[in-house]
Amino acid sequence: MILYEHPLSPYAQKVKIALREKKVPFESHLPMGLGTGSGYADEFTKASPRSEVPALVDGDTRIFDSTIILEYIDEKWPDPPLLPRDPAARARLRMIEEAMDTHYEAINWALGEIEFMKRATGTLAAQLVGTARRQCESWWGWLTKELGSAEYFGGGAFGRADLSVIPYLNGSAGFGITPAKGTTLAEWVTRVSARPAVRQTADEATASRNGLYALPQLIEQGLFKREYRDYRLEWMIKSGGLAVVLDGLERKTIRFSPDFA
């Protein structure tokens, strides 16, 4: 079984944690040309017509989109289950996953645009980072309410919402934005991060961060274009970064989702 992924992709991290929790062996492949919008191998685009990671190849089965992949994994390898049996509880955990995959992902993505890609500097960068920090704190409040006094978001068992939240909190932690020590959410992060599947996945992400510091030069050379899509584009514009988008369009250093191949 092959998983096309990038260690820093929170979507790929979700899938890797799930597979590792279930002790399902897989090969991890980094698609050539990732970040350029072109030049992908046929094997990857057959699995992911959107040319996005993650994509799973299990024999003759090819699946894209992290949420759909997680559904497949839980149905094919049901032990341990990632979702409870109660329909209302299942819907609640899926909503947490959806919120993180859209709204919170855009915050971390924007922080990467500033920290690694140097899309903004000076006053504008400070403004955008400040907005991102305030939004993270707001999301932590919501997550704390969802967690309540339980050990995990689903109650007493690690599951779908936990593996969907931890990549994003680890992502913002990489920019120095973390819940305060001693808070319920900070204790949850510590507890979840101690799980071998989570720790290995997080370590892989951390190890790959160093390569990001070379990206500004690649962007200037037109060799790397970061994808601006849906919530990411919305975040940058509504947070005061319209100039970032316009500059990227003018210099052709950003891209949008490719046509469905």
What is the homologous superfamily of the domain 2-76 according to CATH?
Glutaredoxin (3.40.30.10)
- At 35 the pLDDT is 63
Q: Which two tokens stand for residue 37?
A: 């919008």
For the residues 86-109, what does the mean pLDDT come to? 98
- At 214 the pLDDT is 82
Give the rounded distance of the alpha carbon of 114 from its chain centre. Answer: 17
Percent of the chain with pLDDT over 90: 84
Parse the chain into domains and list their residue ranges.
2-76
- At 222 the pLDDT is 77
| Chain segment 28-82, per-residue pLDDT in tens | 999 987 765 666 778 898 999 988 999 999 999 999 999 999 999 999 999 999 9
Q: What is the CA radius of gyration of the chain?
A: 18
Cα–Cα dist 96/50, whole Å: 24
Cα–Cα dist 68/52, whole Å: 14
pTM: 0.96
- At 37 the pLDDT is 60
Cα–Cα dist 240/113, whole Å: 14
